[in-house]
Amino acid sequence: MKPTVMEALEEWKDASSNLQDCAVNAMRVALPGIDLSPTPPYCCPVTLTITKPGVVGDGKICIDDDTRATVELDAVPNTVIAEAVDAVFGIAWFDQADGPLEDADPGTYNYDDEQTGAEYEVTLGDNEEKTGRVHVSYVPVPYAVELLDAMNTAHERQQREPADAAD
């Protein structure tokens, strides 16, 4: 390989590595309590898992070589899912949702973004804890960060609500 080509490729690798680092930072800021974890050999180059109690749900986030995220969170309060999804996407954006998700029955709601190739699936659980899951695949990092931030914001607001009512 020519030295100029090798130099250009090395510059690209450095920029790509910096982009991955920035993606990790953005995810960690959007959803405090997630941190780097060992990445299984079959997975993306970067894996983050929820490591602190009191964070929205349990699960992991992977960031692939193309800086797309896969978010797999379980045990997320239905109210957090509904508030965050409606805030980010608007009302009735997901398939099977005819109105706000806070008014929706338990079940699975989907949205496939044809522009980015991202696949969104949220499940409002019908369990005693009233928790569901958020699984998002192949989403550009900025979109994943926006959703995680909306979930964290909803969770924080809902945690404050009982205290505000007591005042």
Residues 35-66 have pLDDT tens digits of: 998 877 777 889 999 988 777 889 999 999 88
Q: Tell me what pLDDT residue 162 has.
A: 67
Helix axes 141-166, 3-30, angle to 10 degrees: 20
Contact between 59 and 49 (Cβ < 8 Å): yes
Number of domains comprising the chain: 1
End-to-end CA distance of the chain: 70
Q: Tell me what pLDDT residue 65 has.
A: 86
Q: Tell me what pLDDT residue 83 has.
A: 96
Domain that includes residue 56, residue range: 3-166
pTM: 0.89
Alpha helices in 31-96 (DSSP H): 78-89
Average pLDDT over residues 17-34: 94
